[in-house]
Structure formats: C-alpha cells, structure tokens
Amino acid sequence: MLPAGSVRSAAHGSYNDEIRFSFTVQPAPVLVDAVIVQTDPADLDVAANRAAVLARIASAAAAGGDLIVFPELSLTGTRFASRAEAASVAETVPGPSVDALVAQAQASSAYAVVGLVESDGAALYDTLVLVGPEGLVGKHRKTHLAPHEKDVFDARRPVARLRHRPRSGRAELRVREPLPRGDPQPRSRSAALFWWPAPTPRRERCGASSRARARRRTRST
C-alpha cells in the first residue's frame, strides 16, 4: 500500500529504476457572492429600518447573493443625542429584530450581517449580528469606541472577535475596528472572510448595492 497522494511506477526490470513521485491536489476555490448594501437608516425608526433590511436580504438573495452585509447600526441609525435616546431603540439579542432577521435568512437561504443597539441589563452595545439558515450564528460587540460614542455605548473588554465557520467557510466579524498599526493584514490567519461594517457615509449616495464575488482562501484539513 502506498500513502495517499503517492504514485509508484509499474516499470521494473534490470534496465528500469523504480520511480516515485508525489502530488498534491489543490482544493477548488470557494466562491461567495457577497452583496454590500449601502443604506441610509432613519434615526430611531427601527420598524422602518428593519422592513427595509428584510426586503434587501430577500432581493439580494434572490439575485444570487450568499452573504449580505449591512452598515453598522443599520437598524437604528447612528445619531443619538444621549444614552437614553439609544436605549429607547435598544433590543436584546436574540430579540424581535433578530428573530425577524433569522426568519428572512432562513427563507432566503443566505447569511446577513446587520448592526443594531443591543441591551444587556443596564449595558448598551454597538453590536453586529450574523444570521443564516441555521439561525443566529453569533454577535460581536464593538470594543474600540470613538470619543463621541463613549457617552452612549459600553465597550466590551477584552477585545473579542466573532470567529465562526458557517457553511461557506471560516469567517471573522468585527465592528469598524482598525488593524494594528503597521500590520496591513488581519491577525487571524485561519479566517477566510473578514467583515468589518462601518456606518454609511452620509455624503455618499445611499440606497445602492455593491456586489463582489470574492475568491476565498481554502486549505485542506
């Protein structure tokens, strides 16, 4: 018996030396059709924003999207006059909005990354959730807050990132967190997709979807 991946020649005899060689078969690249949705969420209007997000998930998935990514705080808007105002639109995770997102992801057979204000007891977090056909995959709470956000949100410590292996492969999720200075690549070498949503710039035209087919790193296990 030869080791898997090795082949030995059948040639033999006094004029034939035995020949051995090995080969490695590279796995076929996994292609994910990612849809980046640029929205302009209405501040403090969760119902309207949620309806818009659910409609976008359905339409993007119907067009072939596997992963639909929305901006940070896409369910609530980003401008809060106070912590109390943010608390007025906060939800638990899971909660009503996450349940609706899960139902739409399951109906569409797609994954979605959506931002919201999460309440956990007295704490408020700028949170991203990842939902898919299997339900709520996970969440990530923003850890590095901008100066104007520190009076509104709590920062989770220590730094933690959602790492998950959905049906489409390994993935890492963070909320608009800069890479370490001088390091142009993410720290995680096991992840194949990196999702770092940020708020939609208001100076840009909103409402359009950008589509990208991403060739992901794959490795045999």
Strands (E), the chain: 6-8, 20-22, 31-37, 67-69, 111-120, 123-132, 135-141, 162-164, 171-173, 193-195, 209-215
> What pLDDT sits at residue 190?
42
Q: pLDDT for 154-167, tens place per residue?
A: 987 654 444 555 55
pTM for this structure? 0.70
> What pLDDT sits at residue 50?
98
Partners of 183 in beta bridges: none
> What pLDDT sits at residue 184?
44
Looking up tokens 């990842």 gives 130
Rounded Cα distance between 201 and 183, Å, is: 25
Burial bucket for residue 186 (CB in 10 Å: 0-12, 13-18, 19+): middle
> What percent of the chain has pLDDT above 70?
57
Identity of residue 166: P
> What pLDDT sits at residue 31?
77
Q: Where are the domains of the chain?
A: 31-177+186-215
Q: Answer whether residue 172 shows pLDDT above 80.
A: no
Length of the chain: 221
> What pLDDT sits at residue 90?
98
What is the mean pLDDT of the segment spanning 19-36?
73
What is the mean pLDDT of the segment spanning 84-105?
97
CB 68 within 8 A of CB 61: yes
For residue 21 the two structure tokens come to 């060689």
Question: 161 versus 129: which is more confidently predicted?
Answer: 129
Q: Answer whether residue 171 shows pLDDT above 90.
A: no
What is the mean pLDDT of the segment spanning 142-148?
89
Q: Is it true that domain 31-177+186-215 has CATH number 3.60.110.10?
A: yes
